[in-house]
Amino acid sequence: MVNDLPVTEIAPKAEVRELSFYYGDFQALKHITMTVRERKVTALIGPSGCGKSTFLRCFNRMHDLYPGNRYEGKIVLHPEDTDLLARDVDPIEVRMRIGMVFQKPNPFPKSIFENVAYGLRVRGESSRRAIEEKVEQALEDAALLDEVKDRMHQPAFNLSGGQQQRLCIARALATGPELLLFDEPTSSLDPIATAAIEELIHDLKTQVTILIVTHNMQQAARVSDFTAYMYLGELIEFGVTDELFIKPQMKQTEDYITGRFG
Amino acid sequence: MKPTEIRALIASHRRYDALFALLGVLALMIGVLTFAALFADMALKGAGRLDWNFFTAFPSRHAGQAGILSAWVGSTLVMVVTAAFAVPLGVAAGVYLEEYARRNWITDLIEINITNLAGVPSIVYGLLALGLFVYQFGLGQSILSAGLTLALLILPVVIVATREAIRSIPQVIREGSYALGATKWQTVRYHILPYSSAGILTGIIIGMARAIGETAPIITIGALTFIAFLPPAPLQAEAPFLSFEWLLSPFTVMPIQMFNWTSRPEAAFQANAAAAGFVLVAMTLAMNALAIWLRYRLRRNIKW
């Protein structure tokens, strides 16, 4: 395994140490160690079933929603050095600090405004003014405000697929997450909507650290600063995106990115 | 195959197609027409009795003067009690089973139990209620006892409808809520209940439509068959304005009134029974229509 090329000048946001994950008896992740750099985009690539989504969902303890799942190892979130997987850390706290955007746009069947406001309401924000300001800012940050500002109180389902996904990004941004997880965010979108989301991800890294799972290698090459290649639950290679794609260290990685495998 | 052979083959397949469509329509008509005939028959036989007076008069020994006032008021009040108990209990139980309970042998057992409860004959609920509500709890042969009995009877219907409505909500919606840091209750309160309300309401109303026609358990707990007064009014002129005395009042309901009249030998009472039957079926149909309308309205903005 080739791991973590020295990029010392960029602060780490999250450090994964010896992470293993089990669905019941099945070990889905095997001793993963890597560092997610602050305000950079880190991409997770690999063939279907390699565990990249499983890995991503460890970061916001999504696996806690289902019985029989077990973590081993640590994910340390800086700067407070909180171990996200520790038993005494409430998964709800983790999810309040780490946002997530899903594979298929999953807006709530409510108005556009209420979708973005939901995270704020969950946090007990009751000031109308504050909610309105933050919703507007989040929609602006998600490059959606211009398209929806005249119909904030219409159902979110009236939006196109790409707009829905940007709405979901706005929903996650509204609460100011420290880390934003993207689980194949463009897999159900057309090329134009995909380009818009990729551009957005590129712009967002000035304000938030991003971890993105993608089945599309070109996408990883386009949007990410760092890339991790995973296979069968193991981290095979992790490094600077340009280097990994141009000069992979591992034969397996090379086979995958050149299309000889996967 | 030659084109002529293909055409012959298609023609023979088409004949079976048409045959099945015909059989399906026939099967459907047997059900629909039987009901329509019954309903029309009741309407014709009872037409002469369906006037304002029929709704505002108490039962009487004289068929021409008898009305269903005490019966429809009794049915309405019993339904209010039934809904007040069955809805919160059934919905809470359904939400718990779907969203909170872990899957294990205990929840499996509960599930089997609920399914079986839905199949228990209603008279058995009547016997249970007679022992428990009427005597043990000392509630007497009252509207409260009847409402509680019918609430027990439709509880499985409400629970099953709630669970099915909740199950139709895609998992990604729940995950979307949890991913924003919501607790289970916040997810239930802001998402699960609002999005499943159409299905839940439909289930509640279908349960209520069943309850309003129930006769056996109500007779078992001892509803009166002849009653010439109304329960105390729930609203009063002087403070505290609300009164709950009606809960413990004796009562009768529509199907019992109907049953009482059908057991009379005089033909004039048969007309009364037909008219009461017509009103009862109309009430049930109105409830079902309300269920369909609510489902349509509440689902308008939800598509997955």
- Residues from chain A contacting residue B98 (CB–CB below 8 Å): none
Helices (H), B47-170: 52-56, 69-95, 105-118, 122-129, 143-167
User: pLDDT band at residue A258, thresholds of 50, 70 and 90?
Assistant: confident
CA distance B291 to B118: 20
Q: How many CA atoms lie within 13 A of A64 on its CB side?
A: 20
Q: Collect all residues with Cβ–Cβ distance below 8 Å to A175 and sequence separation of at least 6.
A: A96, A99, A119, A120, A123, B180, B181
C-alpha torsion sign, points B74, B80, B81, B82 = positive
Q: In sequence order, what are the beta bridge partners of A238? A: A228
**How high is the pLDDT of residue B241?**
75
> Among A134-148, A160-174, B99-113, which stretch is predicted with the lowest mean pLDDT?
B99-113
- Does A184 have pLDDT greater than 90? yes
Residue to substitute from A58, A61, A65, A122, interface B, most B β-carbons within 10 A: A122
**How high is the pLDDT of residue A5?**
56
Share of chain A above pLDDT 70, in %: 97
**A and B: number of Cβ contacts within 8 A:** 65
**How high is the pLDDT of residue A3?**
62
Residue type, A210: I
Contact between A122 and B178 using a beta-carbon 8 Å cutoff: no
CA distance B209 to A66: 38
- Residues from chain A contacting residue B183 (CB–CB below 8 Å): 92
Q: Torsions phi, psi of A77, nearest 5?
A: -95, 125
Across the interface, of A92, A102, A168, the residue whose CB is closest to B181 is A92
Q: What pTM was estimated for this model as a whole?
A: 0.86
Mean pLDDT by 10 residues, chain B (304 residues): 93 95 96 93 89 88 86 92 96 95 90 89 93 92 93 94 94 96 96 93 91 91 80 76 83 91 88 92 90 84 72
Nearest alpha-carbon partner for B276 in B60, B56, B72 = B72
Across the interface, of A99, A109, A175, the residue whose CB is closest to B195 is A109
Map residue B168 onto helix, strand or coil: coil
> How many CB atoms sit inside 10 A of residue A224's CB?
27
Angle, in degrees to the nearest 10, between helices B69-95 and B143-167: 40
- Does A7 have pLDDT greater than 60? no
**Hey, what's the torsion of the CAs at A136, A210, A126, B300, to 10 degrees?**
70
DSSP letter assigned to residue A11 = P
Q: Determine the average pLDDT of the residues in A224-228.
A: 95
Which single residue is written with the structure tokens 């997450």? A177
User: pLDDT band at residue A40, thresholds of 50, 70 and 90?
Assistant: very high
Across the interface, of A62, A92, A119, the residue whose CB is closest to B183 is A92
Q: Determine the average pLDDT of the residues in A244-260.
A: 90
Q: What is the side-by-side strand order in the sheet with A12-23?
A: A26-37, A12-23, A69-77, A82-83
Give, for A235, the enclosing helix (H) or strand (E). Answer: strand A234-240
- Residues from chain B contacting residue A67 (CB–CB below 8 Å): 102-103
Residue type, B157: V
Contact between A123 and B181 using a beta-carbon 8 Å cutoff: yes
- Residues from chain A contacting residue B303 (CB–CB below 8 Å): 109, 157
